[in-house]
Amino acid sequence: MNFDIGIIGGGQLGEMMCIEAHKLGYTVAVLDPNPKCSCSYVCDKLIVGEFDDLVKLNELGKCCNVLSYEFENVKGEILEELNDKYNIPQGICPLFDSQDRLREKMNATRYGLPTVRYFDCSSLLDLKNAISALGYPCIYKTRREGYDGHGQVVLHSVIDIDKVKPYLEHNLGIVEEKLEFDYECSIILIRSKENIISFPIGLNIHKDNILDITAVPNPYLSKEMEDRIIEASKEFMIQANYYGILTIEYFVKGDKFYFNEMAPRPHNSGHYTIEGCTTNQFKELDKFLLSLPLEKPKLISATCMKNILGRDLVNLEKLKNIKNSNYHDYQKDQVKPLRKLGHITYTNTTLDLLRTEFKKQNIGE
């Protein structure tokens, strides 16, 4: 049997892609090492295998018309092999470029997006040189496989150098300026051969380096800044020759914005689009993969998305009882305090309103 879409990775992003594909009348096969992954409950076929298992990856490729990924760390050489044999509408460039923070930042600069100052760092000497140039505080990040703040050390003083040493033994890294930004935001774009669409830019609030809340419209974002970010992001995608979905995270300070990182897949900060917009990131990505025309999204009402991590479970009932809530449970088989287990989208709700509700219900932030 042939499936319409094949996804490498069976987490919640894949799960939401499956749900939207089904609504459009298409089928999805998924590869994931965990037989109880989020996608296992909704996809049409689950292939259980590691992300570097070429036999399993080929099994997926052969049974699907197009291939995509919701997981970012498929190895470069494996990607090339898959791209030669199967139809990967996004190609492999955006994934390859996003897998290494140094390449990613150099690429951003090359195609017109400003970044904070950063230095390559693969030795103690590099680290010390970077600190002399940047001063404290600064941030060390591993170049590969970081997420939700993993592989990062904020350096406040010379004492913190010891915390970086274990990373230096096994990893290449970068050191960057720690920006006292006004706020963080992200844009999600989807580019087909015909056009580029983008979703409204929300405000991203992180707690312990993990996204906690996205609020749209972003109360701090002026129309002028939004237009500049949209324009620069579209131009970046065109210049870099990327197609498909791309999320770009930015820091904003004063009248300047800085590229932080990018992801060529649906993004946590875009979950609000399911209920908050006239069309959502998962549906439009599926349509791109299926060569269907894209639809320009519009915000329906002020919307907030709150992530539910393991540590938020104590408040889950209270959070669900706040009005206009839409709870998405990723059906994860393991609970950990910092693991994303679901999210709640509150339509018709501004950040101020939501915070007032949290206070009323005694939900600490």
Chain positions contacting ligand ADP, by CB under 6 A: 116, 139, 146-149, 176-179, 184, 206, 209, 249, 260-261
CB-nearer residue toward ligand ADP: 49 or 137: 137
Q: How far is CA 309 from CA 94, 339, 340, 341, in A?
A: 28, 5, 4, 5
For ligand ADP, give the closer residue by CB, 134 or 274. Answer: 134
CB of residue 242 to ligand ADP, shortest distance in Å: 19
CB of 223 to ligand ADP, least distance (A): 24
Tokens 């405000």 identify what position?
Answer: 203
Whole-number minimum distance, CB 257 to ligand ADP, in Å? 13
Using an 8 Å Cβ cutoff, are 147 and 153 in contact?
no
Minimum CB separation of residue 149 from ligand ADP in Å reads: 5
Of 203, 216, 214, 210, the closest CA to residue 309 belongs to 210
Shortest distance (Å) from residue 295 CB to ligand ADP: 28
Whole-Å CA distances, 18 to 32, 34, 190, 266? 14, 17, 18, 12
Residue nearest to ligand ADP as judged by C-beta position: 179
Q: Which is nearer to ligand ADP, 209 or 278 (CB)?
A: 209
Q: In angstroms, what is the minimal distance from the CB of 238 to ligand ADP?
A: 24
Q: Taking the complex as a whole, how short is the minimal distance between the CB of residue 147 and ligand ADP, in angstroms? A: 5
Which of 261, 275 has the CB closer to ligand ADP?
A: 261
Token pair recorded at residue 325: 């809530």
Least spacing, CB of residue 211 vs ligand ADP, in Å? 7
Of 28 and 174, nearer to ligand ADP (C-beta) is 174
CA distances to 118, 142, 175, 250 from 105, in Å = 9, 13, 12, 12
Q: Residue 287: which of 43, 48, 68 has the closest Cα?
A: 68
Residue whose entry in the numeric block shows the structure tokens 């914005």: 257
Q: Of 27 and 142, which CB lies nearer to ligand ADP in the complex structure?
A: 142
Q: Which is nearer to ligand ADP, 147 or 220 (CB)?
A: 147
Nearer to ligand ADP, 209 or 222 (CB): 209
Per the CB < 8 A criterion, the answer to whether 303 and 272 are in contact is yes
Q: How far is the CB of 261 from ligand ADP (least distance, A)?
A: 5
- In the chain, the amino acid numbered 207 is K
Q: Which is nearer to ligand ADP, 3 or 250 (CB)?
A: 250
Rounded least distance, CB 116 to ligand ADP, Å: 5
Smaller CB separation from ligand ADP, 53 or 120:
120
